[in-house]
Amino acid sequence: MATPLGKWTLALDGGAAPERSLIGGKAWSLARMRELDLPVPPAFVVTTQACTEFLKSGSEPPELAAELAAGIAWLEAQTGRSFGHGSKPLLVSVRSGASISMPGMMDTVLNLGINAATEAALAAECGDAAFARDTHRRFEELYRSIVLRGDPGEVPEAAPSQLQAAVRAVFDSWNSRRAKRYRQHNNIPDDLGTAVTVQAMVFGNLDANSGTGVLFTRNPLDGTPEPYGEYLARAQGEDVVSGKFTPKPLEEMRKTVPQALEALLAAARTLEHEHRDVQDIEFTVQQSKLWLLQSRAAKRAAPAALRIAVDLVNEERIDKATALSRVTPEQLASLTNPCLEDPDNGGKPPLAAGESACPGVGIGMVVTDSDEAEKRAAAGEHVVLARPTTSPEDLHGMIAAKAIITEQGGSTSHAAVVSRSLGRPCVVGCGDGSLTALKGRVVTVCGATGRIHDGPLPVMRPSEVNDFRLAQFMEWKRVAEQKN
């Protein structure tokens, strides 16, 4: 059991994980990771009981402020850093977490504990004033939008005040419009309450032996059973996501932080074993020491979903029923979608090319007007709709077309959004004037590669004949269906 810091808070110190209903799902998975002896940054939890008390009486339990201070003191002792002052500042994240996850709950506030003094200390410590400034700016932004909810107000300088306000905002979010509706709709009692997890932040940018990355226990694109991931030295998590820097393969860690890499690979095995599914693990290395930030079931592309489900059965990790539940009908359908026999078209340059917005192959005659597309399609013709951009009044033409191509716009444009919702192959942003000349020609649109080829090209449909895992999976599915 975790160690109580008082009546309402628990330090997650590696003992057996407390009840999920008491500490919420997020803290529970942290506690479970610590129980498995995995390195997660120290954290303490304000229990759901404190929230229930707050909901009942309308204010925080009187002991809470002192217990938050005790929790912070424990984090300070664990990390050797200090909260709100000192040369090595402790920053924390504050997140909500009920035993059942629900929408409308407070988002995570990061970098809490930063103020003018700790910004200066952090700048000196990592030798990067811009980073410290950015950390401060990001905190203020999050605090304004999440804690103050866009209303005017001050961001407190005193770190304990920041923490108290954030904890209260978590409690308040229990009664947000969305959370209330969700509970009502799903028959979840209104008095369960949410826990609050306060966790020490770690820094991947302190020196050359620090960095941040993500590891998938198997390749999430094709399912190859080998760890797959990226590492960016001297960086924080946002840097990887922002795309401003190019991360390196995990092997790069061997040069600077070999022990952290070994620990990471071992943790990956433990976590996949524990969860019996491919994991997506976020981690940070702070001065050669590995810290795991999060592990969750990885998002995966359809080919990976199939391969991983079949492989895990063959490795005796899951049973066939579980495997069948891990590949959705949509994923199966997409695995047998028609594709070009020769995606390269024998090296012949395409007529036009742009950004892939929705995969699939569509063949037809190019028309440039939505009304005409609708008319011709109604007469049984196959058409490809080409537009500079699309707007709501092109919808009927988009529904009628076999594929949609546009000259302007990117992957978030109207054409891209609508084509995906209709399942129409779509290529966007082919360039001004690039499509008008195609009017009246028969073309093949390859949504996956973003190319428009001259004439109708041969297509093929992947099948059980040429994919043994698909054959195995379909066989299990048939047997299961017969049993029912």
Partner 1 sequence: MQIPDAHLVLHGLAIKKHADAAAVGKLVGLPIERASKALADAVKRGRANEAQGRFILAPMARMALDGEYSKYYSDLRGNADFVAAYEGFERINVELKQLITDWQTIDVAGKRVPNDHSNAAHDEKVISRIGDMHERADKLFARLAAGLPRLQIYRDHLLQALEKAEDGAIEWISDARIDSYHTVWFELHEELLRLMGRTRVE
Binding site for partner 1 (CB under 8 A): 101, 103-104, 107, 150, 177-178, 181-182, 185, 216, 219-221, 228-230, 296-302, 304-305, 326-328, 330-331, 334, 358-359, 371, 389, 391-393, 395-396, 398-399, 408-414, 416-418, 420-422
For partner 1, the closer of residues 115 and 295 by Cβ is: 295
Residue among 177 and 483 whose Cβ is closer to partner 1: 177
CA distance 371 to 369: 6
Q: Which residues contact 74 (CB under 8 A, 6 or more apart)?
A: 5, 11, 42, 44
CB of 337 to partner 1, least distance (A): 10
Smallest distance, Å, CB 135 to partner 1? 23
Toward partner 1, which CB reaches closer, 53 or 277?
277
Question: Which residue from 238, 260, 305, 347 is spatially nearest to 39, judged by alpha carbons?
Answer: 260
Pick 6 or 359: Cβ nearer partner 1 = 359
CA distance 232 to 250: 9
Strands 279-286 and 211-216: antiparallel
User: Closer CB to partner 1, residue 129 or residue 221?
Assistant: 221
- The vertex-67 CA angle with 62 and 69, nearest 5°, equals 115
Minimal distance, residue 443 CB to partner 1, in Å = 22
In whole angstroms, the minimum distance from the beta carbon of 413 to partner 1 comes to 4
Q: Which is nearer to partner 1, 217 or 286 (CB)?
A: 217
Min separation Cβ 184 and partner 1, Å: 10
* Closer residue to partner 1 in complex, CB, 288/408: 408
Min. distance of Cβ 88 from partner 1 in angstroms? 33
Question: Would you call 375 exposed, middle or buried from its count of C-beta atoms within 10 A (0-12, 13-18, 19+)?
Answer: middle
Query: Closest distance between partner 1 and the C-beta of residue 83, in Å?
Result: 28
Starting at the earlier edge strand, list the strands of the sheet with 361-367: 352-353, 451-454, 442-446, 361-367, 383-387, 403-406, 426-428, 355-358
Closer residue to partner 1 in complex, CB, 345/413? 413
Nearer to partner 1, 206 or 292 (CB): 292
**Closer by beta carbon to partner 1, 56 or else 244:** 244
Min separation Cβ 12 and partner 1, Å: 22
Minimum gap (Å) between residue 297 Cβ and partner 1: 7
Taking the complex as a whole, how short is the minimal distance between the CB of residue 447 and partner 1, in angstroms? 10
